[in-house]
């Protein structure tokens, strides 16, 4: 483990310890500085963090505290300014852009607040797109995409375009898209931010079930305490730092 300071992992957990220490994501002293137009923003100021395989972690904190930036540097979408990040044991920093893109395509799925679906494509075409981009055969991509749509309960909507679906259905399509390559990690940035509370609960039921059944690691940013409560653990951020990192005591719902 590269993490020297407190990581929030001191309590023995319920997670399967694959590999040396069972950690899927390790961050040590992570810093991110944005410089734009003479302005310097220290968005991350030395974040230490470890996330286990199969763990679902919620990240909360006021707007502008660095949640999205943290997700972006942990997932390799954005460069870090200082510190070290390892995902599944591999340092993100030394990777070439090409290698990192491939690493992301193989290991990671992404869910955003704005569904980021392509409007002219049907649900199934949106879901299979990452597979086609990754060079999978069209027939196989179609089969996997249908499986993923079934997993999120939308097989009947396969031929609909985003505009023909409700917000909750669109977010289910993005969940299907994020899972279609069976990624080890799913990153979700305010996945229920645009949904009413009932639809939001439906999406969280789905994510909790997938986390339990597929044992994927989930890292989700949310403003909603009810959403965070469904995770195994909640991390609080403020001004580019983690200020609290505690396991969630209460049951997660949906059978766990």
Tell me how far, at minimum, the Cβ of 114 lies from Mg ion, in Å. Answer: 12
* Nearest alpha-carbon partner for 160 in 190, 188, 120: 120
Which listed range, 18-26, 40-48, 63-71, 87-95, lies at the site for Mg ion (CB under 5 A)?
Answer: 63-71
Give, as ranges, the residues between 48 and 107 that touch ligand ADP (CB under 6 A): 61, 63-69
Tell me how far, at minimum, the Cβ of 189 lies from Mg ion, in Å. Answer: 6
Report the residue number, 20 or 36, with the smaller CB distance to ligand ADP: 36
197 forms part of the interface with ligand ADP (CB under 6 A): no
63 binds, among Mg ion, ligand ADP, none (CB under 5 to 8 A by kind): ligand ADP
How far apart (Å, rounded) are the C-alpha atoms in residues 29 and 84? Answer: 7
Tell me how far, at minimum, the Cβ of 245 lies from ligand ADP, in Å. Answer: 16
Tell me how far, at minimum, the Cβ of 32 lies from ligand ADP, in Å. Answer: 8
Site string for Mg ion, 66-85 (x = CB under 5 A): -xx-----------------
43 forms part of the interface with ligand ADP (CB under 6 A): yes
List of residues contacting ligand ADP (CB under 6 A)? 34, 36, 41, 43, 61, 63-69
List of residues contacting Mg ion (CB under 5 A)? 67-68
């Amino acid at each position: 483990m590269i993490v020297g300071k407190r990581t929030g992992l001191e309590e023995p957990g319920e997670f399967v310890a694959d590999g040396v220490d069972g950690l899927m994501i390790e961050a040590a002293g992570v810093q991110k500085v944005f410089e734009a137009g003479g302005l310097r923003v220290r968005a991350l100021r030395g974040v230490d963090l470890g996330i286990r395989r199969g763990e679902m972690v919620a990240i909360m904190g006021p707007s502008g505290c660095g949640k999205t930036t943290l997700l972006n540097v942990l997932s390799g979408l954005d460069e870090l300014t200082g510190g070290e990040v390892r995902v599944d044991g591999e340092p993100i920093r030394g990777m070439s852009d090409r290698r990192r893109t491939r690493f992301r395509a193989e290991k990671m799925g992404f869910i955003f607040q704005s569904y980021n679906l392509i409007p002219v494509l049907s649900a199934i075409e949106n879901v299979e797109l990452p597979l086609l981009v990754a060079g999978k055969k069209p027939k196989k991509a179609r089969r996997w995409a249908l499986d993923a749509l079934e997993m999120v309960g939308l097989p009947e909507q396969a031929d609909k375009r985003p505009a023909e679906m409700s917000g909750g259905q669109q977010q289910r399509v993005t969940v299907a898209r994020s899972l279609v390559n069976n990624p080890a990690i799913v990153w979700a940035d305010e996945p229920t931010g645009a949904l009413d509370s009932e639809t939001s609960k439906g999406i969280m039921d789905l994510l909790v079930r997938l986390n339990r059944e597929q044992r994927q690691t989930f890292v989700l940013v949310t403003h909603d305490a009810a959403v965070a409560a469904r995770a195994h653990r909640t991390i609080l951020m403020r001004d580019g730092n983690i200020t609290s990192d505690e396991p969630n005591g209460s049951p997660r719902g949906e059978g766990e």
